[in-house]
Amino acid sequence: MQTPAQTTADQDVLLPDPNSTPVMEINLIEAIETVIDSLDSHNSAMVSHANKGNLWKFQYGSVEVFVQLTGTHQDDDVLTVWAKVLTLPVKNETVLNRKLLELNWSTTFEARFAITESSVMVMTTRSVADLSPAEISRAITIVAGIADEQDDPLQAEFVPA
């Protein structure tokens, strides 16, 4: 609900009513599970619910995709999606690093390639504040699609050291 307020020009402006409740609160867990169900062609989805959040894992093409939700209500809660595309170390890591930077520029949309421990990942992260089902779908779909598209070519080009 909104309430009218007066401006200096004496025009009505609608402001949020602090006493109203949201018409619809998005169930982030249901939205995530709906997206995973639509992408998981191997019926491999697994979920872990814990005090510190939720973690899902599913197979998309040739990659395992992970989705983590640290919480559903706080501004500091986040949605993180990642998939491993390559194990390190590999030969020509300097060439690999340049390629990953170029791919980050040209192909990753809101996602990005990242290196963690001994793996190259495709990942994205987003605060849950004002997170919509469309953004959840896009985040999971982008990471899964890019990882599945890039893992085989990267593994073929960059063999283990």
Q: Could you read off the pLDDT of 122-157 as tens digits, one per residue?
A: 999 999 988 999 999 999 999 999 999 999 999 999
N-term to C-term CA, the chain = 61
**Residue 132 confidence (pLDDT):** 93
| 17 within a domain of the structure (yes/no) | no
- CATH number for the domain spanning 48: value is 3.30.1460.10
**Residue 120 domain boundaries:** 27-157
**Residue 15 confidence (pLDDT):** 56
| 16 within a domain of the structure (yes/no) | no
Give me the number of domains the chain comprises.
Answer: 1
| 80 within a domain of the structure (yes/no) | yes
User: What is the 8-class DSSP label of residue 89?
Assistant: P
pTM exceeds 0.85 for this model:
no
Confidence grade of residue 1 (pLDDT, cut at 50, 70, 90): very low
Q: Going by C-beta distance under 8 Å and a sequence separation of 6 or more, which residues neighbour residue 132?
A: 26
| 117 within a domain of the structure (yes/no) | yes
E-strand stretches of 37-111 = 46-50, 53-60, 63-69, 78-87
| 9 within a domain of the structure (yes/no) | no
Angstrom distance (rounded) from CA 10 to CA 159: 70
User: Distance of alpha carbon 30 from its chain centroid, rounded?
Assistant: 15
